[in-house]
A and B are shown apart, each in its own frame.
Chain A
Amino acid sequence: MTLTFPYRFAVALFREDGTSLGTVPANRDWEPAHEWTRFYFQRRGELALDGDGSASVLPLWEHTLGEPYCRGYRVQIEQPGRRPVAADFSMTHFRDFASAVASVYVERKALRAGDRYSYLVVAHPTPEETPKNGGLTVTNSSPGLPARDATLDSFLVRAKPSGVMDIDDMPVFVSSRVLEEAAERTHAEEGTETGGILIGMLWRDVGTGELFVEVTAQIPAEHTSGNNVKLTFTAETWAAASAALRLRARGEIYLGYWHSHPVREWCKAKECTPEKQRTCHLAKDFFSPDDEAVIRAAFPRAYSVAIVANDKAFTDLTFSMFGNREGITQPRGFYVLEEKTSDTQISRAE
């Protein structure tokens, strides 16, 4: 499942008058697009669940200007004896990187804050590298997708949709107990961010082959430190969660994490007016770059999700879910599943 780069990408920035600000290597994170591509074709049955073919990032040349100018990029995954599968991604995938580069130019006073700029993406073949002597000899021995067979319809009949559902998203079912426990913990720690690890099953519908996720339980995050704007997961947090998962011994896997956003505290600190609080963009479907970084570092697979408990001043607690859609973490809908059992809360393993 290695990702190779036959081309090197770079972003060229220009001022509004067309003068060049400079060109920098596009050191963006390609892994979410790689993971999404792999998972997308696994969902469609076009890539084996244990397929470990190598993937490459290729330029999509701009129609008019041609090489080396790009209109986007392609992630292509090889599979022995079969045609490769590929997904194309647009220039918007470079927007955040270009914005970060523009900020650097603002710091260097080459660009003024608020100035408009434009950018182009170019790609050139990667020069052949001489293999280095020494270094680690590493083999990717990652397991295939740990999907088990089930019937999607048997989940849908006892589920209620929550949030905006996108028909192309993988269905995600969350036990109502998980949300209840998250709400309890959020209220208990009011004003401070808190959270937990989401665990459950990855299922494959026996009829259609569609993959879907069931979040069966949450493991309260132990050994964290939190305040009103952040929650720090430590190495001990993951070790405790791993022990709890093993103790539970139900074949569940990590599916992501949840954490609270004490929006009312943020508003209080900023002395926001009630009107402003009602329309605050942080109050719903807000997932910060820090939140995203946790998903990236701990739950990189494309089936992983994150839930945010929005603790607001004027309404009841609400939940937002985020997942990898087309290589970008985006808000998404999910299904709430009425729970049959009562033991989803997991205590810390001693």
Chain B
Amino acid sequence: MGKAETAMEIPLEISDVSGQKVFSVANAPAGNTVGELVHEMLGKMNLPRNDASGAPLTYQARLEREGRHLNASERIGDVLERGDKLTLQPNIDAGRGR
């Protein structure tokens, strides 16, 4: 049961689905939520925030150590440890479109 990182800032590694875009974060604030982290990282990683119609895309952060998707409202300090690896995975539609 790893847990409860007490440091104010936690270093992490975050990648996209393909594993070809990997970013090291030196200082993820322990008090922030996972949703806030994902939101900021989308811009840093140049991943699209919107689908083709302009609607916001939802990305979930998968914590590889535990093999689960984190809830956007979970606090970084409660669920993440130093060096944890997260993968940002979108819910996204392919198809003919509207």
Contacts and interface: CB of A to CB of B under 8 A. Distances in A.
Interface of A: 3, 29, 31, 135-143, 146, 193, 195, 226, 229-236, 238-239, 242, 253-254, 257, 259, 261, 266, 282, 286, 288-294, 296-301, 304
Contacts of B48: 29, 293, 296-297
A158 B25 CA distance: 46
B74 to A, nearest CB: 15
Interface in B23-42: 23-28, 37, 40-41
B2 interface: no
A48 to B, nearest CB: 16
Contacts of B46: 3, 31, 300
Interface of B: 13, 16-28, 37, 40-41, 44, 46-48, 51-53, 57, 59-60, 62, 67, 69, 87, 89-97
A233 B92 contact: yes
Contacts of A291: 94-95
A298 B21 contact: no
A301 B96 contact: no
Contacts of A3: 46
Contact of A300 (B21, B67, B97): B21
A345 B70 CA distance: 30
B22 A142 contact: yes
A232 B9 CA distance: 35
Q: Chain A interface secondary structure, helix, strand, loop or mixed? A: mixed
A235 B24 contact: no
Given A3-B46, A254-B20, A300-B18, 15 more contacts: A136-B27, A141-B23, A193-B94, A231-B94, A235-B90, A236-B69, A238-B62, A254-B18, A261-B95, A290-B52, A290-B94, A293-B92, A294-B93, A297-B48, A304-B18
A55 to B, nearest CB: 11
A139 B96 contact: no
A282 to B, nearest CB: 7
Nearest to A29: B48
A136 B89 contact: no
Nearest to A233: B92
A232 B93 contact: yes
A48 B21 CA distance: 17
A254 to B, nearest CB: 5
